[in-house]
Chain A
Amino acid sequence: MKFQVNRDVFSEAVSFAVKLLPQRTTLPILSGVLIETTETGLRLSSFDYEVSAQTEIDASVDTPGTILVSGRLLADIASRLPNAPVEFSTEESRISVRCGSANFTLLSMPVEEYPTLPQVSEQSGLLPADAFSDAVSQVAVAASRDDVTPVITGVQLEVSNTTLSLVATDRYRVAVREIDWDSGDRDFSEGVTALVPARTLQEIGKTFGHSGTISVAITNTDDREIIAFSADRKTVTSLLIKGNFPPVKRLFPDEVDNYAVMNTAELVESVRRVALVLEREAALRFTFSIDGLTLEAIGSEQAQASETIDAHLHGGDMVVSLKPQFLLDGLGAVHSEFVRISFTRTENPNKPGPVLITSQSSKDQPGADSYKYLLQPNLLLR
């Protein structure tokens, strides 16, 4: 095999291909990137039986062939190559890489042992890339990171004919957002769901953020449910998580008339400041009144802190105890200058009602997006 390729194009393609590879794998061969020549250039692939990434780039091919090299090593090399055309050539299992004054010799892993990537032909629908990327970053913060409960380590995608809704939860908060979805002439009025690992979806969101339109396919072959995202000659597939996502959407209240509106940045700053004296895992106390919002941290015996900021309260006074990181995750996700915190009623006297965080474009005007972040307060101690 022999080919020449543009250094930046190649480097970008390799970094895309290795991004989703696991840090450690039980099978060394899965840490490789497969490079195949095509009629117009190269195809780079990686696959660990759960997630696959594939991209095609232009290159000038002298002799066709296929090689399999260590992904991380190749990515490190590609990112440090001098600014010159890159030339690959092979001699038996030795791969020589020449770029300007630099020369590398790498060993190819056995290509024939590499698994076949899942092929997804049919298309289910189209997504606006920027809105999707935005929605993923807003929702995935609420996904659980605890592998003991695999179902909630995913983001639930729910497709109808015109909308895609994203839902994630870790049992302490729930984040939801809807975006536009173009299903073409296919009928999704029955609704289709796909539970995608949150980590994978976050990488997909970042990768395709500026790609215009993303094509999505959800398929079920050989009892393996797979979702594929494609744009810009790049495709990422992921196995879906099996299991039933908890029916968390019904936790959201229909209507809340008791709420407060704050400046988002001001509240974030204040939470970070006051939380400094808290012990790990401890909660901040938030008192909403006509005079504003008072944050109090009663931390250890050594240190305490409090601060009062502007807040526009609608309805009665309210005191809630919230874990600062959980609140900050929601505040960081509303992407709006102001934020509304609404207080839901509760039937259970032993458990405070959850608070709902939504965007607010001004003091009086709710935000235009559909993002909702529901957070369960702690018990009020003392």
Chain B
Amino acid sequence: MSKQDGSQRQVSAPTVDSSTSPILHVDLDAFFASVELLDRPELAAHPVVVAHDSPRSVVTAANYPARRFGVRSAMPLSQAKRLCPSAVVLEPHFEKYRHYSRQVMAIFDDMTPLVERLGIDEAFLDVSGAGRVLGSPGEIAQRIRERVRAETGLACSVGAASTKFVAKLASGRAKPDGLLVIPAAETLRFLHPLPVSALWGVGAATEKALERHALHTIGDIAASPRSALERSLGAALGAKLHDLANGIDHRQVTPERVEKSIGHEMTFSTDVRDDDQLRRELLRLSNRVGERLRRGGLEAGTVALKVRYADFTTISRSHRLATPSDLGRTIYTEARALLDALGEHPPVRLIGVRAEQLAAAGGAPLALWETEPGWRDAERTVDGVAQRFGLDSLRPASLLSSPRGERLRED
């Protein structure tokens, strides 16, 4: 879709009528990079790339000056350096991103109870009920942008429209640091010139299929007979794209999706053969998952292990716990058993642990005796220390030597 570097930026005049566009999509601009630049304001006009500086690293984020050189997230760092040799590489600080994310989301919550968070740096807001108190959607969007800048120093872009997907397209076009309002009556005029790849649900394969039928723009799709689309793309996808192309999107803004699973994974800078190292990494990831479970007041019913080998074959294994747990220790024991059960295996590129079938904590029966007395207290204590002094300030002895810089990417 858009070129991500702001070169096709499109914003609204302050006079545009936003009363028919109550769905806002707010997206923080180059979030990770912008947060890093808060500490290095002198680099703001410079190309900046956020990444661990190691041989197999990928770009976590890039600011707009770097994007103009063609640098994109998830691109290998080596390639980014070739494209933009002058770029400054900054280490990511995920705790900071979480901190700023919470601050920004709190601003959204002040505007309307209907906030649907999408990851760490974007959200949908339905402000149709807020109009009388706070003003028109356009005014609310402007107020959000001002507060975010005043309270965090970050820039965000807002799309306002009558449906979620048009709002998201609009915020993408408004970047960086812009506001684009698409009144309901203007929806089709805005949509139709856009390429088909801008539609939600159109990936590379679908795009190719559409191109075979000479459908290049959203307008082309809107003009095609619905039945023809259903024939060539399948009934469900064909009908969906036809609706979207005609500006029809019935999805509501749904606040707080219940988390279905909590997982952490890790790509190694060089493929790992040593099972001890894999186990150590599992322990670290499991503790992280346990910490998030406890913070969310949740317990896992199932533990899943994901392993990606050097040749990119990916293996998933899961095991149902006899009783739900929120202990990193228990998650590690299960994940490790799943890893050990793989037996002989090729070098590992990525390893991940996921807690699934989550339920509110406290529902599980108590045991007559504790198998590992004190573990719960120990992990709670670690949580407390982490809250005051930062993640990893207190960790298992086996993880003391693990070099933090070795980590590439985590989510």
Contact = CB atoms under 8 A, between A and B. Distances in A.
Given A246-B369, A281-B359, A144 B322 contact: yes
B363 A281 contact: yes
B333 A248 contact: no
A173 B368 contact: yes
B106 to A, nearest CB: 28
A281 B364 contact: yes
B368 A379 contact: no
Interface stretch (A20-28, A31-39, A108-116, A370-378): A370-378
Nearest to B324: A281
A248 B363 CA distance: 24
Contacts of B364: 281, 378
B334 interface: yes
Given A146-B322, A148-B333, A170-B322, A351 B366 contact: yes
Contacts of B363: 281-283, 378
Given A144-B322, A281-B359, A248 B368 contact: yes
Contacts of A379: 362, 366
A354 interface: yes
Nearest to B368: A376
A251 B369 contact: yes
Interface in A224-283: 246, 248, 251, 281-283
Contact of B368 (A146, A323, A374, A381): A374
Nearest to B319: A148
B48 to A, nearest CB: 48
Given A148-B333, A171-B371, A281-B359, A378 B365 contact: yes
A149 B367 CA distance: 14
Contacts of B367: 171-172, 376
B337 interface: yes
A249 to B, nearest CB: 12
A169 B365 CA distance: 14
A13 B365 CA distance: 43
A150 to B, nearest CB: 12
A88 interface: no
Contact of A377 (B337, B359, B366): B366
A381 B362 contact: yes
Nearest to A248: B368
Contacts of B366: 172, 351-352, 376-379
A234 B334 CA distance: 40
Interface string A137-157: 000000011101100000000
A374 B337 CA distance: 30
Interface string B351-378: 0000000010011111111010000000
A81 B324 CA distance: 48
Interface residues of A, number: 28
A149 B333 CA distance: 11
Nearest to B334: A148
Contacts of A374: 368
A interface SS class: loop
A319 to B, nearest CB: 15
B369 A171 contact: yes
Nearest to A323: B365
Contacts of A149: 322, 371
Nearest to B301: A281
Contacts of B333: 148
Contacts, number: 52
A81 B213 CA distance: 64
Contacts of A282: 363
Contacts of B368: 169, 171-174, 248, 251, 354, 374, 376
A360 to B, nearest CB: 23
Contacts of A376: 365-368
A326 interface: yes
B117 to A, nearest CB: 24
A300 to B, nearest CB: 12
Interface in B113-154: none
Contact of A148 (B324, B337, B359): B337
Contacts of A283: 363, 365
Contacts of B323: 172
A379 B365 CA distance: 8
Nearest to A246: B369
Interface string B326-348: 00000001100100000000000
Contacts of A323: 365
Nearest to B320: A146
B334 to A, nearest CB: 7
Contacts of A352: 366
A352 B362 CA distance: 14
Contacts of A146: 322
A149 B365 CA distance: 17
Interface string A150-180: 0000000000000000000111111000000
Interface string A75-97: 00000000000000000000000
A140 B85 CA distance: 70
A216 B339 CA distance: 40
B297 to A, nearest CB: 13
A170 B369 CA distance: 10
B257 to A, nearest CB: 19
A170 B368 CA distance: 9
A58 B56 CA distance: 73
Contacts of B322: 144-146, 148-149, 170
A381 B362 CA distance: 8
A352 B368 CA distance: 10
A171 B371 CA distance: 9
Q: Which of B337, B363, B368, B371 has the most CB of A within 10 A?
A: B368
A381 B360 CA distance: 12
Contacts of A248: 368-369
Contacts of A173: 368
B365 A326 contact: yes
Nearest to A376: B368
Contacts of B359: 281
Given A170-B322, A172-B366, A378-B364, 9 more contacts: A144-B322, A148-B322, A172-B323, A172-B367, A248-B368, A281-B359, A281-B364, A354-B368, A379-B362
Per CB-CB distance, the 4 closest pairs between chain A and chain B, nearest first, are A146-B322, A171-B367, A376-B368, A376-B366
5 contacts: A251-B368, A281-B364, A326-B365, A351-B366, A379-B366
